[in-house]
Amino acid sequence: MAKFFDIHPTNPQPRLIAQVVDALRQDAVIAYPTDSGYALGTRLGNTTGADRIRAIRHLDDKHHFTLVCSDFAQLGQLVVLDNSAFRAIKASTPGKYTFILPATKEVPRRLAHPKKKTVGVRIPDHTVVNAIVRELGEPLLSSSLILPDVDEPLHEGWRIKDELDHVLDAVIEAGDVNAEPTTVVDYSNGAPEIARYGSGDPSRFE
């Protein structure tokens, strides 16, 4: 049965943040709200957690996770940025974007694209997520909470707990959630390409 955390969206209670982080350090899989819908998350080194997320979403082992960062400094340790990418991404974060960039050696090989050696990274504009990742001290291995054969993503914590109580360790509620996923910007070939149009304004990358 998943624990349910009702956390204040703008003034998250430190005690509850610490409890969520403690669960993550014990290899929990959580559902948590972001600025672009709910996501599933686990500790970066939790290979069992990654498999559980794939099972929940009915994904194969080719699925690539996103590394959710607390700030630009943490993001910069995970990916290689040239000057133009640095300026554009720094100006757009935190925000409703996922960026695909060449991975550094800090990223476990199993999480990078096997051929392109890229990884997806993002910094959500969400107080609760950023508090969790800061307290955890490392990026959160994450995937959008999109269930198979469901037309609209779940965006209410109590409904997610009701649907996924048996496969999650914790569910976080933190106010209203925009259900539209991120805009994905792919820098694999050096110049930005919009791989998915979503909630982030794509015009600055077009």
Q: Cα–Cα distances in Å, from 53 out to 37, 62, 190?
A: 16, 13, 30
Between CA 41 and CA 30 the distance in angstroms is 5
Give the sign of the dihedral formed by CA 182, CA 187, CA 71, CA 133: positive
- Whether the full predicted model's pTM is greater than 0.85, yes or no, is yes
User: What does residue 199 show for φ and ψ, rounded to 5 degrees?
Assistant: -80, -20
Hey, what are 2's tokens? 């998943």
CATH fold group of domain 3-205: DHBP synthase (3.90.870)
Average pLDDT over residues 132-152: 89
pLDDT at residue number 150: 74
The average confidence (pLDDT) of the chain is: 92
Give the sign of the dihedral formed by CA 27, CA 155, CA 64, CA 183: negative
Average pLDDT over residues 116-139: 94
Convert the pLDDT of each residue in 93-123 to its tens digit. Answer: 999 999 999 999 989 888 888 888 899 999 9
pLDDT band of residue 130 (cuts 50, 70, 90) is very high
pLDDT at residue number 147: 85
Residue 61 is given by DSSP the state: T
**Helix boundaries (H) for the chain:** 14-25, 47-57, 72-76, 83-92, 127-136, 157-164
Convert the pLDDT of each residue in 27-52 to its tens digit. Answer: 999 999 999 989 999 999 898 999 99
Q: Is the per-residue pLDDT at 135 higher than 70?
A: yes
